Structure 1
């Protein structure tokens, strides 16, 4: 059995915390280990922030989906700015931003993006270890 949490937030910085809270609640409900929950919440903050800051479509909404399927957990952040794909870069030493995708690459087992007909989706995948799913619900 697969567990999924999907919701939309307005494209505004103040709603990033709402996304983070909703994801934490889902992960807690699914009994995912606290360490992985913290990592997913951190990376969700990065991906959702990127979506709300860089999406050029006015009055857009950002869709956030978290799926737990067996030992695989996938976070997806989708926005309607199809052609603005994320590009990691090396920020200057004093630069405040620009490290989010490097963080995603370092902490997720895999990440990437895909374009739909009208949207783009940036995703991060995590493999639950025995410790992370010791208390997780059976999803067979």
Structure 2
């Protein structure tokens, strides 16, 4: 049976560090403390930041779920703005934002989104036993 940990944060930027810390603690409790932990924490930071930034539902909560199901670790970020789906953007080298999904795409072994009855879920999947296959080096713009 997979191990799962779920928690919620208020939809506000000041709670993103709390989510990042909670993800790090769950991973450490599961014995994941290497580069994989760094990749998952950074991806969680990006997906949670997107959720709190782009969700148009006021007084909402963002739900974060981590699941260990061999050979993967899954990260899910849910928010109630189910019709506003994530879209990777083209970004200028000097742009201050717009790189989050590209970064998750480089760090994870796959990512996507799903519309659920009352929320949307943006997820990322990470290999537990090996480094994810990466498409070359990280672009200089990231």
After TM superposition, is the score higher than 0.5? yes
What is the 5 A alignment of 1:62-73? Answer: 62-73=62-73
What is the 5 A alignment of 1:1-140? Answer: 1-129=1-129
- Deviations 1:91-123 (Å, cap 9, x if unpaired)? 112110000000011110000000011110000
Q: CA RMSD in A?
A: 1.2
Cα distance in 1 for residues equivalent to 2:2 and 2:62: 22
Cα distance in 1 for residues equivalent to 2:25 and 2:78: 20
- Deviations 1:36-83 (Å, cap 9, x if unpaired)? 111100000000000000000000000000001122100000000000
Cα distance in 2 for residues equivalent to 1:127 and 1:42: 15
Cα distance in 2 for residues equivalent to 1:124 and 1:6: 15
Structure 2 gap segments, 5+ residues each: 132-142
Cα distance in 2 for residues equivalent to 1:16 and 1:100: 14
Cα distance in 2 for residues equivalent to 1:130 and 1:29: 20
Structure 1 gap segments, 5+ residues each: 132-140
Q: Which has the higher contact order (CA 8 A, sep 6+)?
A: 1
TM-score, structure 2 as length reference? 0.89
Aligned partner of 2:140 in structure 1 is none
Cα distance in 2 for residues equivalent to 1:74 and 1:23: 12
Q: How many residues align?
A: 131
